[in-house]
Structure formats: C-alpha cells, structure tokens
Structure 1
Amino acid sequence: MKFKQIDWPTFIGALVLLLAVSVPLVVFPESGNKVVNIANEFMTRRLGVVYLIAGLGILFFMLYVSFSEKGKIKLGDMDEEPEFNNFSWAGMIFCAGIGASILYWSTIEWAYYYQSPPFGIEQGTEEAVLWASSYGMFHWGPIAWGMYSLPALTIAYFYYVRKKPVLKISEATRPVIGKLADTPIGNLIDILFMFGLIGGAATTLALGTPMIAYGLENLFGLQVSLFVKTIVLLVCTTIFAVSAYVGLNKGIKVLSDINLWGSIFLIAFVFVFGPTQFIAETTLNSIGLIFDNFFRMSTWTEPYNSLGPYERTGFPESWTIFYWAWWLVYAPFVGLFVAKISRGRTLKQMVLGTIAYGSTGSILFFGVIGNYGLHMQLTGKFDVISVLENNEPAKAIIDVIGTLPLSFVMVALFTILSVIFLATTFDSSSYILASVVQNEVEGEPLRWNRLFWAFALCLMPLVLMFLGGLSALQTASIVGGFPLIFIMILLAISFMRASTGDIKDAGEYEPKAIHIDFEDVKRVRKKKKKKKGPDETHVEQDREE
C-alpha cells in the first residue's frame, strides 16, 4: 500500500469531522434534532437570499465563459479525441449528478406543490396544477447543472491544460490563495468540500434506500423496518464499493450505460402506455411556463409574507433554497467527476453539454413520470396524496409505479434502477473522495482508498435514517452547502485569472480587437460602386450616410 501518496491531514481531517457530526446525533437524538431544526431555520430564513443569488450568478457566468474565447480551450492535446463517446459521457454525467433522487422526486414532488403551491396560489386549483407540473423541472434544470459545471471548468483546466496531476479543490484555487494552498487553509478547503459531499450524498442515499426497501416489499412482501433499510443500505454500499474498486472504465462506465438504457426504457414505457397526450401537453406547457417565469422563480423570497396580514408559506426555503444548497454540496464532486471524464472536449462542449444533457434528462423524468402520477390524482384513478399523507413517501412512489401495466415487471425495473442509480452516484463519490486525499492522481486513485471512502459514505445516511424526517435530510444539505458558496467564488476567480493570463502569454495568441482604417474602407467601396448599376450605387450611398 502506497501510504506516502495519501494527503493524511486532509484524509484524517475529513474523517474526524464526519465522526464529530455523526456520533453526537446518534448518542443524543433529541438534542440532535433540535440543533438540526435551529440550523435549518437560520440557514434558510437568514441566508436564503445568498443561495438564490449564487444560483443565478453561476449560471450566467458559465454561459459567458462558454461563448467567450475561453470556451474554445481544448482539454488535452489539439488532435486528441474525446475519451468517451457522447452517449456514455452524457450517461455518466447524468447518473453521477442526480442519483436515485431523480426517481424519488420526479414521481411525487408535484404532490407537495399541488397541496402547497407557490406565490400564494390556492391549493387544488387549476393554477396550482400548472405550477405543480412545472416547479420540479425548474429545480432540476439549468441552474442546477450550471452549478455542477463551475468546478468542472476550473478543475479540468488545471488538470488537462496546466497539467497538474492533482484533483483537489485547493489546487484549483491556487491562483487566488497562492501558497496558502499548501498550508492548513488548503487542507480546510478540501475538508469542507469532502464534508459537503458526504452530507449531500447522505441525503441521496437516505432517500433512495427506503424506496428500494418498499420496492422489495411490493415485489416479495418483505416488511419494511429500520433493520431492513440498514441491510439494503449495506448491500448497495457493497455494490458501489465493488464498482469503485474495479475502476472508471470497467465499473462506473458500464453501470452508467446500463442505467441510461434502463431509464430510457422506463420513460418510454410510461409515455406510451400512460396518458400520452396529457403527458406531452402538460410537459410542453410546463416548459413554456418556466421560460415565462424563470427570473420570478429564481428570485422569489416572500419578503413581505412575515409582515401584516400575509401568511408565510415557507415555499422558497423548503424547496428552491434547499435545492440550490443541495446542488452546491454536490457541485465540486460532480465537477471533479465531469472534469475527469471530459478529456478531448473543449470547455464550451463540456459546460454546454453538461447543462443541456442534464436538464433534458431531468425534464423527461419530471415530465413523463411526474405527470403520470399527476394524471392518476386528477382522474381519481389513484389517490397519490392520500397515500403520501398516511405513509412514507417511498411507499407512495412504489405504489404509483405499481399502477402501470405489467406492474410487477415495472416495479422490479424501478427498484433495480434505484440500486444502480445509487451505485453510479456513490462509486463516483468514493472515486472522487479518494482522489482528493491523494497527492497525485496520474491514473486512478489507490484501490484501498476507494474502498475506504465507499464504506465511509454509508455512515451519515444511517444517522439520518435513524433521526428520520425530511427536515434532517434537508438541513444536512443546506448546512453543508453554505461554505461551498465561497469555494465556488474562489474557483470562478481562479479560472478567470489563470485562463486570461495563459491566453495572453500563449505564442499563437492574437488580440481579438478589429482595427478599421475608414479611408481604406471608402476606397474599397468606390471600386465596388464602379462595378454596380446606378440603382445599386444609390442604395450603397444611403447605407454609408
């Protein structure tokens, strides 16, 4: 074992922080819940506007970079072809970026919006239905994938252009913090990233595990309990540990391809055998509604609802701010992963591909599976909301899938996809965590290192399942995401400084400014006039004037 390759201060620091948070929550669950609620209230109510500004700012920054001259920068040598084809590349990005959470939320998220609509709309109305169908697509759309792209941009640039064989957030911020990257401050940046990733990953795993357990109950009558959920969690952990151990090409790529084909089949089956016209019309209508209200949805904070006669709904804090924090938590991890698999592409291709493929996949899941559940509710064929109110959300999800034709087959497929989605997310997570605590990563991280972090990832989900409740899961993401706002700012500044300086100093660089000598222009135009007829010359004179 090559222990000298490990960055031990970062390795031990991240592990100590993980234990320092997890153990007290298990030993003192009641006090832990109180602390969780206080943290949730403070982060969302007092600092929520920071998350909203960060979301919009990051998206527009990424679009600016993509369409600027920096977007033309190639990751790797100029004649180098992409390491993975577009299908596998898109599949790995999508599966790593959303995990089993897309199966969870796309099926039932509309029900929460239907009962508690945004903008003070009355629940159960036609307008509530419109927003219920749309808001999930917005939360999982371009802003989310824009956040994922920022760390990918900076890390890929340093890894493939500046040839730094280190996959560390601290290394990517070196143009801003300088030699501090080699001090405990650099370690702290990497530890905060790792803790944020573990907290966000815990949320996904704690949501996905009960869904798999209820799938097994539906299929085989296995009664769901905390013990069963724990066994499911450990089995899933073993699966993605093996995948991470095997490596990027043989493990993660293969699972991602399988998952993508399975997802395509699931969506196509629901679309064809479900209410096809309703799904198509509602999805298209939702896309239009989002375009019309994008900035309103991105900046809504309910500023007046805590005053006078207005009642505060808490919608922005419970949903938009929660999601933006969740994406921030995952962003460095997904960015590291996207950077690692994007060799041979330009920065523009990497950024726009991530945003486009990710948003499209999310729209398909929410548009097809979400609107199928909404149709069941509106037509009275299945009361999703009633099941949701009286049971765990995971049971409502499996029951919705159980209303499809060939229900046993579709529930089995849905459960298998849940397992593989978790595996593709967490083998990628353990792969990246292992990369961060290594001093150099020329090929792949050490295998024992990957295995260690694969099993370390299951500690926090066990704690969150023990505590129970969605608020604990949301707070894990929100609290973990806040420090990452500042890390994202550092990454953006680092990229701009490094790439701007490198372009100017490059041997083949030419200034993009255009110098115009108008005397030469007039001489050229006179020559053109002599070759034209009188009518054309008159038009040319008018244009010049």
Structure 2
Amino acid sequence: MRTRLIDWPTFIISFIVILAVVIPLIIYPEAGSAFVAQLNNVMSDRFGFLYLTMGLAIFFFLIFVAFSQNGQVKLGEEEEPPEFSTPAWAGMLFSAGIGSSILYWGTIEWAFYYQGPPFGLSPTSDQLETIQWASTYGIFHWGPIAWAIYALPAVPMSYFFYVREKPIIKISETLRPLLKGYSDTMVGKLIDVLFIFGLLGGAGTTLALGTPLISRGVADLTGFEDNMLLRTIVLLVVTVIFAISAYVGLKEGIKRLSNLNLGLSIFLLLFVLITGPTLFILETTTNSVGLILDNFFRMSTWTEPFAVMEGVEETGFPESWTVFYWAWWLVYAPFVGLFIARISRGRTIRQVIIGSMVYGSIGCLLFFGIMGNFGLFLQITGEFDVVQVLNDQGAPAAIISIINQLPFSNIMVAIFVFLSVVFLATTFDSSSYILASVTQKLLEDEEPLRWNRMFWAFTICLLPLTLMYLGGLETLQTASIVGGFPLIFIMFLIAWSFMKTSTRDLKIDEQYEPKTIILDMKNIRQKLKRRRKKKQSNDKD
C-alpha cells in the first residue's frame, strides 16, 4: 500500500508538537505571549552576535562551495537538462521564498527605518543620512545573506536526493553521514519536527501580514468594512486557490501560480517605475547598492557593543531588525531549501547556489528599490504623509494609501490585491507540498500523495485562522523563531555533512576506488562504470 510510504512517526509527532504549542496559547493567550516574548528577548539580546556570525559564515561558505570542485556536481544524470526552464525555476524559488511578504515590507519597511534609523542617528538632526539608510537597509536584509541562508540546506538535500538517490528528502537524511543510525531515532525525528514547526510558524506570520493587507485593499475597492469577517473570507479564498494547486501538483499547480506571480510582478514594478518618479527611484536604488557594498561588513556585524556605556542610548535596532531577520530566514531555510532542491534536478550545485542568491536578491532589490522608494519619495517631498498613516492606521492602510497615489489607482489597487492573493496562495501551496514531502518517502520523479498534501494545506490554514481570532499569530511567529534556535547548530552540521560526503565521493570518483565507500553509492558506481568504459574506449582509439 502507498500509505506505507508515509513516515508516520514524523507525521504524528509533528502534529502533536504543533497542538502542544498552539493549545496553551489558545487557553492562556496573555501568559503564553508574555513567556514567549521574554524568551525571545533573552535569545536575541544574548545570542544576537551568533546569528550575525552565522549569516556571514554561510554566505562565504557557499561562495567557496560554488567555485570549488564540489560546485561542479550535476544533480541528476550527466547529460540530463534542467527539469524547469531558468525563468520558471527562478520564479518558483522566489515565490516560495518570499511570498506576499515582499509586497508588504518592500512597500513600507523604509518608513520604520525613517523613524528609527540605525547607527544611533537621529531622524531629525541627520535627516539626509537617515533617508539614505531608510532606503538601503531593507535591500540589505532581503539580499545575498538571506538567500545564502535559504540556499545552504538546498545544496545537501539536493545532493543526497539526486546524486545519492536517497528516498527521503529532508534534513535528518542530510545528516546521516554524521548521525549514522541516529538519523532513524528520535534525534532525527526531532530535527525534522523542528523544521515542520518553524515552517508552520512562518506560514502563520505570512498569513498575519498578507491577510490584513488583502482585506484592506478589498475594503478600499468595495467600501466594505475591514473586519475579521472580511479577513476570514479572504483567507478561505486563498485556501481554496492553494488547495486546488496543491492537489494538481508541482508542475501544473505551483509552476503556473509562480509564472502568474512573475508576470504580474513585472507589470506592477514597470508601471510604478514609469509613472512614478523614475529618476529618483533609479538614483536612490543605485545609491543604496553602493552603500551596501561600502558598508557590507559593518551592517552584517553591528551589535551596538558600546550601548551599555554611560550616556549612550541603546536603540535595539540590531536585535529588532537584523538579528530578527537572520533568525527568521533561518526558520524558513529548511522549507525554502527543500523546495529549491525539489525543483533543481538537472542543474549543478554551482547553479543552485549562484542562481538562488542572484535571482532572489535581484527580485527583492527591484521591489524595495521601486515600491519602497516610491513611498519614500511621497514622504520626503510632502506629496503624501505615509508615516502619519502608518502610525495612525497601521501598515496595511499605509501600503494601500501608497498604491492609491498612482495613476489609475483603483485598477492598480486591484492588481496589487490580486498579486497579494496569488503570492500568498503560492507560499501556502509550496509549504503544503514540502510538508507532505518531508513526511513521505519519494522517488525522484514522484510527488507526495494527494491526501497528504491536502492535509497539510488545511492544517496550515486552520491553525493560523484560530490564532488570528485569538490574537496569537505574533506569538506563534515568535515561538517558531525561539524553537528554531537549534537550527544555527544544525546548519553547521549540514554544511559539514555535505562537504565530508561530497568531497569523499569526488575523490573516489576520480580514483575509481569504490571499495572504500561505506554508504549506498549505487548512483556513483553507475557513473564510475560509464566513465571506465569511456576511458577504455578512448584508450583503444
């Protein structure tokens, strides 16, 4: 029976852990929220430097891997072409990794930095420098380090799945060379459960950002009141879309939604660029890229170490933004990495690493550079006070107000809302697909069982919906980040496991000495036989 393919221990334990966290938050929302928030503050304050160090280490490690011999390894057969075209591949990895959050933060994040700038600057006395950093820091937070954190798990998972032909594509399997038999015990299950818990918390936060934004846009277009009923309807519509897509599958569902995302995004960005302050957007974005290049290490390592000195006020900027973002990418990394691995058959490891960092960073740069700088232009020229709307009515209202300043505002708000819906559906679609993949054994070209995909699709919807009514989504997000703290060390083990295994395989491959292989090396042996025959044929010639 195909149900035997389900990894029932991981499936059941994951669901129990999720309920064990969510139910206390439902019964004791205030006490649970306070406890989780306090625990998060302790971790970010005391271990913030660890997150920053991790980000830099992962970035440079992947650059090394990409241009090393390990980066030349093909994920699949040597003559096999990529499963998806480059535009389709880039669109899917971008949509899964970012989702509707890019529409939210790409449009409004600058306003938070504008009011609370980094490096101890005052928003009033150092206004020019404040404006420059406001347009820059979002691009940095969503740039190469973020996508490097995403790409790290993708490399070993794709290697073990396509080169070593392991039947399960998940974190514990990539650590088997280090954990040995412990990968099949509770140690391995715990690692996979942490991944699933982080993913559901991440999906809940995406929902927390995307649903109010969509409902605010619908209210603006229709005149309906932006209330919980409207948000519930929005969520149900999104659920129907991504449930259908999850049911259809990877190539027919997720790929089509991602392509639609890509087309609508390009249209929206071009429209804002052409009809908005084109020269200001281009110059400010270019200036921001220059600031990042000049201050990359400063921004990557700033921890306010002298804030404890008398007379120096601590802003909390690194903990509130950079540390938080690195922790957030870390929680999402196994999911996005697993998805990138699943769609990267036929590519080399170098293509996966460079493609993820380059395409992902460029996509985020365009959103922050065009959408964000359009809003910043409205603020500094006095055409529209975005900051006041943000402080008085909240971020969703401020974002829709910015879109309303464009020509054909009703049409553009409708496109923006529709794009938000598709982005949100794509994220949930990818999430349910990956959750199903983690709890099931798969062949290379096989997709998870449909009932398994649908189960996780509705689980992703129902848990955040319950917490949305109880006001506990932010707590779930924080709890997932706290629970994801061990992933710092798991990331190190993943990198070690990959380098140890792939380097050994390459040496064996070159020396034709398969007798030293301990693990199942069926695929490597097949390649060695083909190469021996080719070499013998060349020698005869």
* TM-score normalised by L of structure 1: 0.91
Give the aligned partner of residue 79 of structure 2. Answer: 79
Corresponding residue for residue 449 of structure 1: 452
State the shift of 1:5 in Å.
1.4
Alpha carbons of structure 1 residues 13 and 258: separation in structure 2 relative to 1, 3 Å: same
Aligned partner letter, 2:319: E
Could you say what secondary structure the match of 1:77 adopts? coil
Q: 1:488 aligns with which of 481, 486, 491?
A: 491
Matches within 5 A, 1:18-417: 18-124=18-124, 125-417=127-419
Give, in whole Å, the separation in 2 of the partners of 1:355 and 1:334.
13
Q: Residues 420 and 299 (structure 1 numbering): CA distance in 2 closer, same or farther, change over 3 Å?
A: same
> Would you say the 8 A contact 1:14–1:195 is kept in 2?
yes
AA at the equivalent of 2:115: Q
Between the aligned partners of 1:181 and 1:390, the Cα distance in structure 2 is 51
8 Å contact from structure 1 (residues 376, 382) kept in 2 = yes
From the CA coordinates, give the structure whose radius of gyration is larger: 1
> How far is the alpha carbon of 1:33 from its aligned partner?
2.1
**Which consecutive unaligned segments of at least 5 residues does structure 1 have?**
511-545
Superposed displacement of residue 227, structure 1: 2.6
User: CA offset at residue 222 of structure 1?
Assistant: 1.6
Report if the CA contact (8 A) 1:22-1:459 is conserved: no
- Structure 1: how far apart are the matches of 2:224 and 2:454? 30
SS in 1 for 2:130: helix
Q: Could you tell me how far apart the structure 1 residues matched to 2:500 and 2:399 are?
A: 47
For 1:368-408, what per-residue CA distance to the aligned partner results, in whole angstroms no more than 9, with x for missing partners? 00000000001111111000001121111111111111111
Do the aligned partners of residues 19 and 362 (structure 1) sit closer, same or farther apart at CA in structure 2, a change above 3 Å counting? same
Give the Cα separation in 2 of the matches to 1:29 and 1:311: 33
Check 1:107–1:11 CA distance in 2 against 1; reply closer, same or farther (3 A cut).
same
CA contact (8 A) 1:325 1:477 kept: no
**Matched letter for residue 445 of structure 1:** P
* Range with bigger deviation, 57-66 or 1-10: 1-10
8 Å contact 2:204–2:460 — kept in the other structure? yes
Alignment CA distance shift 1:498-1:226 (3 Å) = same
Structure 2 spans left out of the alignment, 5+ residues: 514-541
Tell me if structure 1 keeps the 8 A contact 2:94–2:360.
yes
In structure 2, C-alpha distance between the alignment counterparts of 1:217 and 1:479, rounded to whole Å: 35
Distance 1:417 1:357, change over 3 A: same
Q: Which residue of 2 aligns with 1:479?
A: 482
Residues 84/446 of structure 1: CA separation in 2 closer, same or farther (3 Å cut) = same
Whole-Å Cα distance in 2 between the matches of residues 441 and 306 of structure 1?
Answer: 55
Percent identical among aligned pairs is 61
Q: Does 1:465 align with 2:468?
A: yes
Deviations 1:303-352 (A, max 9, x none): 12133111111101110011101111111111111111111111001110
Q: 1:408 to 1:509 in 2, by over 3 A?
A: farther
Instruction: Mark the CA change 1:133 to 1:2 in structure 2 (over 3 Å): closer, same or farther.
Output: same
Q: CA deviation at 1:30?
A: 1.4
- Using the size of structure 2 for normalisation, the TM-score is 0.92
Partner letter of residue 360 of structure 2? G
- 1:132-169 deviation line (CA, Å, top 9, x unaligned): 00000000000000011111000000011111121121
Once residues 141 and 266 of structure 1 are traced to their aligned partners in structure 2, the CA distance between those partners, rounded to angstroms, is: 21
Superposed CA offset, 1:45-72 (max 9, x none): 1121111111111111100000101111
State the distance in 2 between where 1:114 and 1:8 align.
49
CA positional deviation for 1:481: 2.6
Query: How many angstroms apart in 1 are the aligned matches of 2:447 and 2:106?
Result: 34
What is the aligned partner in structure 1 of residue 519 from structure 2? none
Once the 2 structures are TM-superposed, how far is the Cα of residue 35 of structure 1 from its aligned partner? 1.4
Structure 1 letter corresponding to 2:490: I
Aligned 8 A contact 2:204 2:473 in 1: no
Q: Aligned pair in 2 of structure 1 residues 477, 272: CA closer, same or farther (>3 Å)?
A: farther
The question of whether the paired residues in 1 share the 8 Å contact of 2:208 and 2:473 is answered with: no
Contact 1:176 1:494 in 2 (8 A): yes
How many Å separate the matches in 1 of 2:77 and 2:486? 35
Identify if the C-alpha distance between structure 1 residues 509 and 328 changes in structure 2 by more than 3 Å, giving closer, same or farther: farther
Q: Write the letter of the residue equivalent to 2:72.
A: K
Secondary structure (helix, strand or coil) at the match of 1:75 reads coil
Kept in 2, the 8 Å contact 1:199–1:460? The answer is no
Range with bigger deviation, 29-38 or 423-432 = 29-38
The match for 2:15 is 15
| Partners of 1:199 and 1:480 within 8 A in 2 | no
> For the Cα contact (< 8 Å) 2:467–2:473, is it kept in 1?
no
Deviation, 1:464, is: 4.8
Larger deviation, residues 95-104 vs 484-493: 484-493
Asked if structure 2 preserves the Cα contact closer than 8 Å seen for 1:464 and 1:472, the reply is no
Q: Distance in 2 between matches of 1:436 and 1:123?
A: 47
Give the AA of the match of 1:187.
Answer: K
1:70-129, CA deviations, whole angstroms, 9 ceiling, x for partnerless residues? 111011111100111111010001000100000000110000000000000111411000
Distance in 1 of aligned mates of 2:430 and 2:235: 17
CA distance in structure 2 between the partners assigned to 1:401 and 1:261 by the alignment = 18
Distance 1:223 1:273 in 2: 30
SS at match of 1:457: helix
Moved runs in structure 1, 4+ residues, more than 4 A?
467-471, 507-510
RMSD: 1.6
Secondary structure of the residue aligned to 1:482 is coil
Query: Of the candidates 488, 504, 515, which is equivalent to residue 501 of structure 1?
Result: 504
